[in-house]
Amino acid sequence: MIKFLKKTGLQDVIALIVILVGIIVIMSLSSNLFLSPRNITNLLIDSTTVGIIAVFSTMLMIGGGLDLSVASTAALCGVIIGVFQASLGIFPAVLIALAAGAIVGLVNGILVTYVGINPLITTLGMFSIARGLAFVFSNGLTIPVFDLSGEHQAAYDRFTILSEGSFLGLPYPVIAMLLLFALGVTVLHLSSYGRAMYAIGGNELASKMAALPVKRYRVTAYVLSGISAAIAAIFLTSRLYAADPRAAPGVELTVITAVILGGTSLAGGKGNLVGTFLGVMILSALLNGLRLQSTSTDLQNIIQGLVLLAAVGFEQVRTGNVNLDIRKMFSK
C-alpha cells in the first residue's frame, strides 16, 4: 500500500490535505469568524490571484524555468486596463492587457532560452521593469475604472460582474481559477506539450537528443506565465474598481511558495497541479487566519518565508540532496 501511494504521488497529496485540515481546525478554534460563510467566500476569492498565476508557474517550473516577474506583470496589465479603458472601452483595454502579459512572457522566454541569461536574473530584471512601467504609465496614481461618460455602462457592468457575480454559490473568480487548474491538468497529463515539459525539466540534454523543440516549449511556458498574470490582473482590477501600480505586492513569493509546497521541484521534471492547488489553499487559509487574529503584515511575511524554507528543505531531504555533517562544518 505504501509503495502504491509513493508511486502514484498520493502520499504527498494526502500529507497536504492533512496539513490543510490541521490549519483549518487551528484557525477555526482561534477565531469564530474563520468558518463563517462570508469569510470562506473571502478566503476563496483572495486565493484566486495566486491560484490563477500558480497554474502556469507550475508548468514553467516543471520545465526547469522560473518567473519572478508575475506580480509586477499583473500590476502593469492592470494599469494598462486603467489607461486605455477611457479612450477605447473596457474590453479592448482588457485585450491589450492580455497582449501585454504575453509580450512580457515572450521577452522573458527569449532572454532565457535564446540569449542564455539565467532565469532568476532575467525575471528579476523584468520584475523591476514591469513595476516601473506600471508607475510611469499611471504617474504613480491609482486609476479608477468606471464609465465616465455613461455611454458604455453595460460593458462596465459586465466587467464588474467578473468579480461580483457567482454561479451555484461560487464567485466567478473562483470558477475561473478552478477552470484554469482543470485546463492545466489536462495539458500536463493528456497532451504532448505537458509530457515534454516533464522530460525537459528532468533532462534537457536527453530532450534535445530526442528532437524535442526545447527552446520553443520553454518560450511557450513563459508566454503562458505572462498571460496568467494578465488574467489575474483582470479579475483583480474588476474587484478593486481601480488599477493600482502597487497591486499584487509579494505575490511572486506566495506563488513560488505554493508551487514548491505542492511538490514541484525547483530543479524541474517533477510536480503536479493537484499539489499546487492544495498549496494555494494552505497558504490562503494560513494567511487569512493570521489576518483574522490581527497579525501584523511583517509577521505574516516572516511566517510565509519560513513556510517556503521548510518546503524547499523538505524537498531537499526527501530527494537526498542534503548532506549534513556537523563535524565537517566545524572542522575547517
Q: Is 171 helix (H, G, I), strand (E, B) or coil?
A: strand
Cβ atoms of 129 and 68 within 8 Å: the answer is no
pLDDT greater than 60 at residue 284? yes
Is 88 or 112 the better-scoring residue by pLDDT? Answer: 112
Torsions phi, psi for 243 (to 5 deg): -110, 120
pLDDT at residue 1, as a whole number: 43
Cβ atoms of 322 and 61 within 8 Å: the answer is no
With bands split at pLDDT 50, 70 and 90, how would you rate the model's confidence at 149?
A: low
With bands split at pLDDT 50, 70 and 90, how would you rate the model's confidence at 159?
A: confident
Max intra-chain CA distance, the chain: 76
Is 192 or 295 the better-scoring residue by pLDDT? Answer: 192
- 190-195 contact pairs (CB < 8 A, 24+): 193/217, 193/220, 194/59
Nearest CA to 224 out of 75, 70, 119, 118 is that of: 70
User: Averaged over 43-70, what is the pLDDT?
Assistant: 95
User: Averaged over 226-237, what is the pLDDT?
Assistant: 95
What is the DSSP-derived secondary structure letter of residue 191?
S
Using the CB atoms, write b or e for 120-139: b if 16+ within 10 Å: eebbeebbebbbebbeebbe
Give the CA count within 13 Å in the CB-facing half-sphere of 149: 10
Q: Which of 107-116, 214-223, 275-284, 298-307 has the lowest mean pLDDT?
A: 298-307
pLDDT greater than 60 at residue 325? no
User: What region, left, alpha or beta, does residue 154 occupy, with left being phi > 0 and alpha being psi -120 to 50 degrees?
Assistant: alpha
The pLDDT tens digits of the residues spanning 291-320 come to 998 888 888 889 888 888 888 777 777 666
One-character DSSP codes across 250-301: THHHHHHHHHHHTT--TTSS---HHHHHHHHHHHHHHHHHHHHTT--HHHHH
With bands split at pLDDT 50, 70 and 90, how would you rate the model's confidence at 147?
A: low
User: Averaged over 13-24, what is the pLDDT?
Assistant: 91
Q: What is the mean pLDDT of the chain?
A: 88
pLDDT at residue 331, as a whole number: 54
pLDDT greater than 70 at residue 78? yes
User: Averaged over 93-113, what is the pLDDT?
Assistant: 96
Is 40 or 161 the better-scoring residue by pLDDT? Answer: 40
Angle, to 10 degrees, between the axis of helix 192-202 and the axis of helix 214-240? Answer: 110
With bands split at pLDDT 50, 70 and 90, how would you rate the model's confidence at 28?
A: very high
What percent of the chain is modeled with pLDDT above 90?
63
Domain range list for the chain: 38-316
One-character DSSP codes across 4-16: HHHHHTHHHHHHH
d(CA 88, CA 67): 31
Cβ atoms of 265 and 319 within 8 Å: the answer is yes
Write out the CATH class of domain 38-316.
Answer: mainly alpha
pLDDT at residue 8, as a whole number: 44
Q: Which of 15-19, 29-33, 304-308, 311-315 has the lowest mean pLDDT?
A: 311-315
As beta bridge partners, residue 171 has 166
